[in-house]
């Protein structure tokens, strides 16, 4: 079963995250919507993985599942796991007990084969406690949203919003920046420590006026501002000190997305979920923002899950690509392989639509029909009613994702005809 | 425009608005009846009536009468209140203090409770806590204030005898000094627990009557604003940064939800001044509202004019304060555009 369990494994690089059989259903009046219905793929450490498909095929839901940002209700995680192995870090003060050491090397071996030297065991992101999820959000896995105009709080300054990431995840660093609070009494040190963690105690309002505390708090704010300015400067924002004091509505769309990127990268996360980061932007700056993300990703060796429906951008920036259709994975593979020789009819349709993709958003001119209703979907291939190659098998049996080469897997009977006795038939369809 | 410039401009405009309001109300009161009506009786001779008419300049044109009234106001003479049998200016401060104590107390409780309940319900959308809050809020907004007040009066004063009516026990009131006219503050200044308890005990029923509707309106507004804000992307973005849910709610969603709610709070405070009339009558509260009600019935024009003048100033100032808070809360607001 190992090959079926991880059919999309990248043979050259170990995975930082692995999605297995992810199912997310949304309650609706007509019944549960199978928005994501058995998705498998993995993200190799340090790679940029594209996730493409038409609007509504479940890309955002898949991406949000990594951070536990799926509203429940109406949604329900109907099955699956998202395994995530954190990277090795100097500062482990933000880890929770659920960050367990690698069972083989106990975290000691930097060339351990099991954990690839990360020293950590894997965590199932769908099962961790809320506290662990909070420790992961922003620190280990960060998100860049589609519309920076909506993802920034309109009534807080850019500086206030970036400060939160540091206060939540880097308070130890901030306290180190100001030389610690060792020289202070317990009460005063407590107040400064709480300020560095974005907490407030009952007496902090009064304590913050006491001269030694006030001095420390002032230096804390200065240290915080230095870090924020550095984070903004990394995204090529020219005047960070001014931007810190700006409100979102005073910035252009491109600037706002740079701020979002700075915020996502602030704590040097292991993985970034970028959900259509350029879709809401002016066409003229889309490429610039993508180049920026790519440049920062390569510089830091961060892994990126890049969700997009713009195949030309995926082709230019990604290492591998996952093609989703109606809540399932149609095809996975290296960008070069998939773009040169698409094996799924849907992928072919998508690629044929590229020249027109400038005007057509989500609608595929070359494939007639639309994404099927995802309430009680029929058995068999989800693409059957739009596929020109449809065979009798296709409407009865669900084609599972099968590797064709080490670099490419496809779920289509054209590529791997259903074998009699079919190991890849769905259990409920097997004769008893 | 700078907030400071805006405030200055509004303050300069304020007197003109007040003059406008006073002209309209002066004309309307004179249309409603003669200012000497409250003094007339059957025993008066024609000569005495003519003398009264002369004193009130009723033979001069209306605008001359208006200027006599304005002149009086500038000299601190707001006229004679037939209802109170005293000069308006002498009675007004004490009555104002009584009304303000009642309305400010109700307003304070209504704002704190309304914002809290709205947050409580909005962050538990469609759970049972939300449904319970909704039932309370809808009844608060739909029960007529005077009916709710009479209900409280019947149950808690007439039947159970748990609460008194009026503003104070006469003996306790007389036992302390009243430098501010606010009974609670006076009691605290005098260090008298007995007086403090007496003040609060008398305040509860009328304040409940007056505040219930306001709580309901603020709660509903806060709840729906919060529900809407909680669906915004920036809330998920705040969660994605690793913020605990408590901070997501407090720092992000609730602060944005306050922006539309503040406007409603401003309107609610104006509504409280209206409601005070009914609440004061029901609970025999010796405030402006009860005085105003008798004045209207008996055609006591000096009192009516003073009351309206005062309420319009209060309303304009409340609006200005709401605008300032609004601009402070939301940096996108551009005042005066
Ligand atoms: N908040 C929600 N409530 C109900 N249904 C939802 C919600 N979010 C997503 N869905 C369902 O999930 C499907 C996939 O959504 P999504 O992942 O956003 O698609 P996309 O690939 O365009 O990002 C949608 O078609 C919709 O039916
Ligand atoms: S499995 Fe059948 S219907 Fe589905 S894509 Fe392949 S050929 Fe078309
Ligand atoms: Mg999407």
**pLDDT tens track for B207-263:** 989 988 889 999 999 999 999 999 999 999 999 999 999 899 989 999 999 988 988
Final residue of a domain: which of B42, B60, B81? B81
Residue B335, domain member (yes or no) = no
As a whole number of angstroms, the distance between CA A163 and CA A267 comes to 11
B145 and B264 share one domain: yes
Q: Ligand 1: residues whose CB is within 6 Å? A: A 26, 33, 35, 53, 55-61, 71, 74
CB pairs under 8 A between A and B: 76
Final residue of a domain: which of B31, B46, B81? B81
Final residue of a domain: which of B49, B81, B113? B81
Residue B87, domain member (yes or no) = no
B73 and B140 share one domain: no
As a whole number of angstroms, the distance between CA A44 and CA A63 comes to 15
Give yes or no for A325 touching B (CB within 8 A). no
B37 and B183 share one domain: no
pLDDT (tens digit, 9 = 90+) per residue, A205-250? 777 777 777 777 787 788 888 889 988 988 888 888 889 999 999 9
Nearest CA in chain A to B252: A153
B129 and B188 share one domain: yes
Nearest CA in chain A to B237: A151
Give yes or no for A138 touching B (CB within 8 A). yes
As a whole number of angstroms, the distance between CA A231 and CA A315 comes to 28
In angstroms, the Cα distances linking A372 to A47, A54, A290, A378, B327 are 32, 12, 31, 10, 48
Residue B159, domain member (yes or no) = yes
B36 and B147 share one domain: no
Closest ligand 2 atom number to CA of residue A345:
5
Residue B110, domain member (yes or no) = yes
**Mean of all residue pLDDT scores within chain B:** 85
Closest ligand 2 atom number to CA of residue A393:
2
Q: What is the pTM of this model?
A: 0.82
pLDDT of residue B323: 85
> Is residue A5 predicted with pLDDT exceeding 50?
no
Give yes or no for A265 touching B (CB within 8 A). no
B14 and B131 share one domain: no
Residue B247, domain member (yes or no) = yes
Residue B336, domain member (yes or no) = no
Average pLDDT over residues B297-317: 85
Q: Which of A256, A254, A288, A260 is nearest to A274 (CA)?
A: A260
Q: ipTM value of the model?
A: 0.84
Range of the domain at B18: 3-81
Residue B218, domain member (yes or no) = yes
pLDDT band at residue A357, thresholds of 50, 70 and 90? very low
pLDDT band at residue B198, thresholds of 50, 70 and 90? confident
B114 and B53 share one domain: no
As a whole number of angstroms, the distance between CA B254 and CA B126 comes to 18
B160 and B279 share one domain: yes
> Is residue B336 predicted with pLDDT exceeding 70?
no
B36 and B159 share one domain: no
pLDDT band at residue A364, thresholds of 50, 70 and 90? low
Tell me which of A250-259, A303-312, B178-187 is least confident: B178-187
As a whole number of angstroms, the distance between CA A341 and CA B162 comes to 86
Q: What count of residues does chain A have?
A: 432
Average pLDDT over residues A338-344: 87
Is there a contact between A152 and B234 if contact means CB atoms under 8 Å apart?
A: yes
Among the partner-chain residues B237, B241, B330, the one whose CB lies closest to the CB of A155 is: B330
Q: How many domains does chain B have?
A: 2
- State the distance from the centre of ligand 2 to the C-alpha of A389, rounded, in angstroms: 6
Is there a contact between B233 and A139 if contact means CB atoms under 8 Å apart?
A: no
Give yes or no for B141 touching A (CB within 8 A). no
Q: Which of A123, A101, A33 is nearest to A70 (CA)?
A: A33
pLDDT of residue B240: 94
Tell me which of A78-87, A230-239, A357-366 is least confident: A357-366
As a whole number of angstroms, the distance between CA B108 and CA B279 comes to 17
Q: ∠ CA B108-B112-B115 to the nearest 5 degrees? A: 135
How many other CB atoms are there within 10 angstroms of residue A24's CB atom?
A: 26
**Mean of all residue pLDDT scores within chain A:** 81
Q: What count of residues does chain B have?
A: 337
Q: In what order do the strands lie in the sheet with A123-124?
A: A33-44, A15-26, A75-84, A123-124
Domains and CATH numbers, chain A: 1-85+122-140+269-432 (3.40.50.300), 153-244 (no CATH)
CATH code of the domain in which B167 resides: 1.10.3720.10
Question: Which residues sit with Cβ closer than 5 angstroms to ligand 3, an ion?
Answer: A 60
Average pLDDT over residues A29-49: 89
Per-residue tokens: B256 = 């944005």
Beta strand ranges found along A194-338 (DSSP E): 271-275, 303-308, 320-325, 328-334
CA A416 to chain centroid, in Å, comes to: 31
Q: Judge contact between B176 and B161, C-beta under 8 A.
A: no
Give yes or no for B90 touching A (CB within 8 A). no
pLDDT of residue B118: 92
B103 and B33 share one domain: no
């Amino acid at each position: 079963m190992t090959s079926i369990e991880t059919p999309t494994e990248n043979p050259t690089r170990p995975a930082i995250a692995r999605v297995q059989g992810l199912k997310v259903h949304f309650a609706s009046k007509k019944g549960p919507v199978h928005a994501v219905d058995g998705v498998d793929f993995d993200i190799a450490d340090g790679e940029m993985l594209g996730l493409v498909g038409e609007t509504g095929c479940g890309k955002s839901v898949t991406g949000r599942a990594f951070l536990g940002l799926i509203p429940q209700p109406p949604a329900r995680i109907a099955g699956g796991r998202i395994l995530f192995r954190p990277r090795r870090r100097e500062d482990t003060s933000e880890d929770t007990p659920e960050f367990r050491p690698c069972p083989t090397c106990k975290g000691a071996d930097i060339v351990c084969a099991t954990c690839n030297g990360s020293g950590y065991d894997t965590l199932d992101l769908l099962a961790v406690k809320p506290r662990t999820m909070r420790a992961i959000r922003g620190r280990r896995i960060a998100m860049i949203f589609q519309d920076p105009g909506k993802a920034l709080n309109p009534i807080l300054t850019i500086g206030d919003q970036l400060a939160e990431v540091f206060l939540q995840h880097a308070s130890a660093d901030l306290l180190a920046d100001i030389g610690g609070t060792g020289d202070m009494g317990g009460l005063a040190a407590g107040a400064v420590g709480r300020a560095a963690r974005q907490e407030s105690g009952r007496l902090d309002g009064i304590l913050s006026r006491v001269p030694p505390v006030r001095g420390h708090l002032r230096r804390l704010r200065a240290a915080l501002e230095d870090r924020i300015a550095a984070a903004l400067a990394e995204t090529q924002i020219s005047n960070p000190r001014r931007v810190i004091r700006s409100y979102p509505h005073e910035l252009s769309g491109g600037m706002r997305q740079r701020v979002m990127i700075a915020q996502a990268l602030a704590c040097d996360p292991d993985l970034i979920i970028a959900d259509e980061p350029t879709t809401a932007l002016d066409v003229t700056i889309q490429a610039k923002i993508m180049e920026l993300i790519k440049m920062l990703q390569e510089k830091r060796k961060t892994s990126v899950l890049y969700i997009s429906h713009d195949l030309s951008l995926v082709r230019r920036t990604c290492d591998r690509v996952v093609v989703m259709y109606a809540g399932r994975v149609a095809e996975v593979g290296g960008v070069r392989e998939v773009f040169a020789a698409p094996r799924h009819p849907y992928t072919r349709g998508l690629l044929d639509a590229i020249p027109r993709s400038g005007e057509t958003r989500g609608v595929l001119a070359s494939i007639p029909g639309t994404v099927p209703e995802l309430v009680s979907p029929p058995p068999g291939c989800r693409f059957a009613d739009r596929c020109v190659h449809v065979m009798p098998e296709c409407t009865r049996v669900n084609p599972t994702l099968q590797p064709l080469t080490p670099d490419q897997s496809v779920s289509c009977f054209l590529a791997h005809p259903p074998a009699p006795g079919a190991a890849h038939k769905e259990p409920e369809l097997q004769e008893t | 425009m700078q907030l400071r410039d805006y405030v200055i401009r509004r303050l300069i405009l304020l007197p003109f608005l007040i003059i406008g309001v006073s002209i309209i109300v002066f004309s309307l009161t004179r249309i409603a009846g003669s200012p000497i009506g409250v003094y007339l009786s059957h025993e008066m001779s024609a000569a005495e009536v003519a003398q009264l008419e002369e004193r009130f300049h009723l033979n001069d044109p209306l605008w001359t009468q208006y200027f006599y009234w304005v002149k009086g106001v500038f000299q601190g003479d707001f006229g004679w209140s037939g209802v109170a049998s005293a000069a308006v200016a002498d009675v007004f401060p004490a009555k104002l203090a009584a009304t303000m104590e009642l309305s400010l107390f109700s307003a304070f409780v209504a704002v704190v409770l309304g914002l809290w309940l709205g947050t409580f319900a909005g962050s538990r959308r469609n759970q049972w806590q939300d449904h319970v809050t909704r039932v309370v809020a809808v009844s608060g907004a739909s029960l007529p204030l005077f009916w709710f007040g009479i209900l409280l009066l019947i149950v808690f004063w007439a039947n159970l005898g748990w609460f008194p009516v009026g503003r104070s026990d006469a003996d306790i009131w007389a036992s302390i000094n009243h430098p501010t006219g606010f009974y609670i503050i006076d009691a605290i200044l005098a260090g008298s627990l007995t007086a403090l308890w007496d003040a609060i005990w008398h305040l509860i029923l009328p304040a409940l009557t007056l505040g219930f509707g306001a709580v309901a309106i603020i709660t509903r507004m806060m709840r729906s604003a919060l529900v809407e804000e909680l669906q915004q992307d920036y809330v998920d973005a705040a969660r994605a940064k690793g913020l605990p849910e408590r901070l997501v709610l407090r720092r992000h969603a609730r602060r944005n939800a306050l922006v539309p709610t503040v406007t409603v709070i401003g309107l609610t405070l104006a509504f409280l001044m209206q409601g005070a009339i009914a609440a004061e009558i029901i609970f025999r509260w010796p405030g402006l509202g009860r005085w105003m009600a008798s004045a209207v019935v008996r055609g006591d024009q000096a009192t009516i004019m003073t009351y309206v003048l005062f309420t319009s100033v209060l309303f304009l100032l409340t609006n200005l304060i709401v605008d300032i808070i609004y601009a402070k809360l939301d940096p996108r607001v551009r005042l005066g555009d």
